[in-house]
């Protein structure tokens, strides 16, 4: 959702489909007390701290289990639709071994990822899921996806017209049409976006940037804020250079030494909480809609 930095590209979508924390720290998640000493307290494996799914607005998103229920229901509906065309379909089992990447809401936060990938996405966390269908049946699954909207293009399969969005798109729309709450979703999306934007000007965050910048300068890198390295042209090529790796490692180390990540999270949490209070009615409507959709999805899965 955020476009102020590449690391923040899909914030709205992430928040509306993420898993909120369940502890009692600020923002709905675990307390931040030990976060500033994360580097010194790590044993063999790096300690990962989540931010996006512990922010206050994440309470109005789907949990991971709820997302799984909805996706499973979509697959059941898709299977029913494909059956009407004589196509047998069983979705591939999700790859549970794919790791979850470190939270990048505030830029890099993982020294391990910084050392391996620089400022690039964690390629280990990319899922390459293949639809288990013959090539000639894929248009029934996808429909005219990629065609010009309302261009009148029709997809036929063995003499029978296919839904414009394919069986899968039709299944997604079926649940969305009945249970989604666009107005509430728009409010949640706006709060998520504006919370990040406003946090950039919060006094504690600006002071954190100043200290982070001084730390980076001591390591030989001149950047005013953690968003600046993300937009460095030299860090967007095909390969990760030694300079990019060194910069990324220093970036994370300076965030840890200055406590910037915890400071930033707390500042944005305060901003979001105030905005949530002003929009309580719309957000409660969104929460209710989410509950109804998840219950409907679970019924579909049980009925098969």
Tell me the C-alpha distance between 247 and 232, whole Å.
Answer: 11
Tell me the C-alpha distance between 254 and 163, whole Å.
Answer: 53
* Furthest CA-CA distance within the chain: 70
Beta strands in the chain (DSSP E): 155-157, 160-162
What is the per-residue pLDDT for 288?
96
Could you tell me whether strands 160-162 and 155-157 are parallel, antiparallel, or unpaired per DSSP bridges? antiparallel
Q: Give CA angle at 212 (206, 215), nearest 5°.
A: 150
What is the per-residue pLDDT for 128?
65
Tell me the C-alpha distance between 283 and 187, whole Å.
Answer: 7
Tell me the C-alpha distance between 187 and 190, whole Å.
Answer: 5
What is the per-residue pLDDT for 220?
97
What is the per-residue pLDDT for 99?
76
- Which 8-state DSSP code applies to residue 195? H
Q: What is the CA radius of gyration of the chain?
A: 22
Tell me the C-alpha distance between 6 and 108, whole Å.
Answer: 11
Distances (CA, A) of 269 to 100, 212, 297: 23, 20, 31
What is the per-residue pLDDT for 149?
52
Tell me the C-alpha distance between 209 and 224, whole Å.
Answer: 7
What is the per-residue pLDDT for 144?
84
**CA 279 and chain centroid, separation:** 23
**CA 31 and chain centroid, separation:** 22
What is the per-residue pLDDT for 132?
86
Tell me the C-alpha distance between 195 and 268, whole Å.
Answer: 6
What is the per-residue pLDDT for 21?
37
What is the per-residue pLDDT for 188?
97
First to last CA, the chain: 35
Per-residue pLDDT of the chain (304 residues; tens, 9 = 90+): 333 333 333 333 334 333 333 333 344 433 333 344 343 334 345 677 789 999 999 999 999 999 999 999 999 999 999 999 999 999 887 766 677 889 999 999 999 999 999 999 888 777 667 788 988 999 999 998 755 455 567 889 999 999 999 999 999 999 999 999 999 999 999 999 999 999 999 999 999 999 999 999 999 999 999 999 999 999 988 899 999 999 999 999 999 999 999 999 999 999 999 999 999 999 999 999 999 999 999 999 999 8
């Amino acid at each position: 959702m955020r476009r102020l930095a590449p690391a923040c590209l899909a914030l709205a979508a992430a928040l509306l489909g993420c898993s909120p924390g369940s502890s009692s720290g600020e923002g709905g998640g675990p307390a931040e007390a030990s976060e500033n000493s994360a580097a010194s307290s790590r044993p063999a494996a790096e300690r990962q701290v989540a931010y996006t799914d512990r922010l206050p607005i994440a309470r109005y998103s789907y949990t991971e289990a709820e997302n799984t229920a909805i996706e499973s229901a979509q697959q059941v509906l898709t299977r029913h639709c494909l059956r009407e065309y004589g196509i047998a379909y069983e979705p591939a089992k999700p790859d549970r071994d794919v790791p979850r990447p470190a939270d990048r809401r505030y830029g890099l936060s993982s020294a391990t990822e910084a050392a391996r990938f620089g400022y690039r996405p964690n390629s280990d966390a990319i899922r390459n899921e293949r639809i288990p269908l013959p090539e000639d049946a894929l248009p029934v699954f996808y429909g005219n996806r990629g065609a010009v909207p309302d261009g009148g293009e029709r997809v036929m399969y063995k003499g029978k017209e296919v839904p414009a969005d394919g069986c899968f798109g039709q299944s997604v729309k079926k649940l969305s049409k009945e249970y989604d709450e666009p107005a509430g979703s728009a409010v949640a999306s706006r709060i998520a976006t504006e919370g990040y934007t406003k946090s950039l000007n919060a006094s504690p965050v600006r002071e954190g940037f100043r200290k982070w910048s001084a730390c980076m300068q001591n390591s030989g890198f001149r950047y005013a804020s953690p968003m600046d390295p993300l937009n460095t042209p030299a860090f967007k090529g095909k390969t990760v250079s030694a300079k990019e790796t060194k910069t990324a490692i220093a970036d994370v180390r300076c965030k840890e030494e200055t406590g910037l990540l915890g400071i930033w999270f707390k500042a944005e949490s305060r901003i979001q909480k105030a905005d949530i209070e002003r929009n309580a009615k719309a957000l409660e409507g969104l929460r209710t809609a989410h509950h109804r959709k998840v219950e409907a999805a679970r019924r579909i899965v049980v009925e098969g």
